Amino acid sequence: MDWAAIALTVNRLAESFIINGKLFGVTLLFGLPLGLIIAFGSMSQIKPLAWLTKIFVWIIRGTPLMLQIIIIFFVPSLVFKSYFWANLPGGRFWASAAAFIINYACYFSEIYRGGIESIPVGQNEAGQVLGMTKTQVFLRVTFLQVIKRIVPPMGNEIITLVKDTSLARIISNKEIIMMAEEYTAKGIIWPLFSTGIFFLVAVGILTLLLNYTEKKLDYFR
């Protein structure tokens, strides 16, 4: 058994998994705040804005993420008659990131909306009676309770995101599974199965962190 070759293969897989990790981090960094903005849009008192936001969320949630990646990558090239993303530094990665951010922001928005709407209206009214503005009520009363309530469903989406990052290979981002497939084409099958270990470790660490966060937020009983 060639241990040096095995070590080199594992190292290459680990380097490819960095792309999965970067995509995961960028999606959370931009998707979480964007999801809150979309949630406010869907709950807006301005009916046209609320309806447009809901329709947008329905379209994004109702179509496959893989299709959205393909559309975001290829449509600008067709419109501008040039290889739009391919001509940008790291263009393929950022095309994938754009699709992931939009997709997950829409899912996050529904979690935010459900959490906000689950807070009794009486608490908002009580805060305003005490002289607090709507913003103060939201930040000091509503938001703290919302965070506690959305951690479990948000955690499920975050764990799903880890695994979904493998879809980036559809536009030739050499993430870990695409790298493993190169070995499979050469007749070496074990690297493909070993990718599961990377995902299991990542999901395990996230699960521990999410459980810890949930316990730390165990207030308002």
Q: Does residue 85 form part of some domain?
A: yes
Q: Does residue 111 form part of some domain?
A: yes
Distance CA 112, CA 99 (A): 20
Kindly tell me if the per-residue pLDDT of 8 is higher than 80.
yes
Residue given tokens 């947008």 in the structure block = 56
Give which of 68, 151, 53 is closest to 106, Cα–Cα. Answer: 53
Kindly tell me if the per-residue pLDDT of 40 is higher than 80.
yes
* For the chain, percent of residues with pLDDT exceeding 70: 88
Mean pLDDT over residues 25-50, rounded? 94
Kindly tell me if the per-residue pLDDT of 219 is higher than 70.
no
Q: Does residue 221 form part of some domain?
A: no
Q: Does residue 38 form part of some domain?
A: yes
Task: Please count the structural domains in the chain.
Answer: 1
Give which of 173, 124, 161 is closest to 146, Cα–Cα. Answer: 124
Q: What is the CATH number of the domain that holds 72?
A: 1.10.3720.10
Q: Which domain holds residue 198?
A: 3-216
Q: Does residue 95 form part of some domain?
A: yes
Q: What is the pTM of this model?
A: 0.89
